């Protein structure tokens, strides 16, 4: 049976991956929701207006929206389907994207209700990354120990506090 840690990581990976595939697709095409697509277009125009540096670099609202959308879809697919370390890399890139989006929302003065979802998913991405990078618990270390070390460890754990049993 899978450990609770593994179940948590898989559940978070799939849920977050699907969310970002969905949100990235909305940024790329109006097929899922014309209203949400129009809203994304409007929002990204305001982000570029608020950051003149982007315009100087030759980045317009369309390029910014499509770049972020494509990165969200790609990282979302990796989070959902690809096993191992690439999930952590995708998680990290998505976390950076969420931080950028939160910065954009703050820059244009959006109310909290407009970016609350980004805040929540940023927290979830952080939690998933911390859980995935946390070393295995102590019980797995015991399994890797030789028998003599396991016996000594069990004697130490069974001894009353302050007293160590020596054999």
What is the pLDDT tens value at each position of the chain, 167 positions in all?
778 888 889 999 999 999 999 999 999 999 999 999 999 999 999 999 988 888 889 889 999 999 999 999 999 999 999 988 999 999 999 999 999 999 999 999 989 999 999 999 999 999 999 998 887 655 555 555 667 666 665 655 565 665 555 65
Domain that holds residue 39: 4-134
Residues 143 and 63 in one domain: no
Number of domains into which the chain is organized? 2
pTM of the model: 0.76
Residues 113, 95 share a domain: yes
Same domain, 109 and 155: no
Supply the DSSP string of 123-142, one letter for each residue.
HHHHHHHHHHHSPP-HHHHH
The answer on 72 and 25 residing in a single domain is yes
- 35 and 57 in a single domain? The answer is yes
Q: Are residues 113 and 143 in the same domain?
A: no
């Amino acid at each position: 049976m899978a450990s609770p840690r593994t179940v948590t990581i898989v559940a978070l990976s799939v849920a977050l991956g699907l969310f970002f595939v969905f949100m990235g697709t909305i940024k790329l095409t109006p097929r899922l929701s014309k209203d949400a697509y129009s809203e994304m277009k409007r929002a990204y125009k305001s982000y570029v207006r608020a950051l003149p540096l982007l315009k100087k670099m030759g980045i317009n609202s369309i390029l910014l929206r499509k770049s972020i959308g494509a990165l969200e879809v790609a990282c979302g697919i990796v989070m959902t389907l690809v096993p191992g370390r690439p999930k952590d890399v995708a998680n990290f890139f998505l976390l950076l994207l969420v931080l950028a989006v939160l910065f954009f929302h703050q820059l244009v003065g959006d109310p909290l209700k407009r970016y609350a979802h980004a805040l929540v998913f940023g927290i979830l991405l952080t939690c998933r990354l911390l859980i995935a990078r946390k070393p295995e618990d102590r019980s797995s270390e015991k399994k890797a120990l030789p028998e003599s070390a396991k016996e000594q460890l069990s004697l130490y754990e069974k001894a009353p506090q302050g007293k160590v049993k020596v054999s």
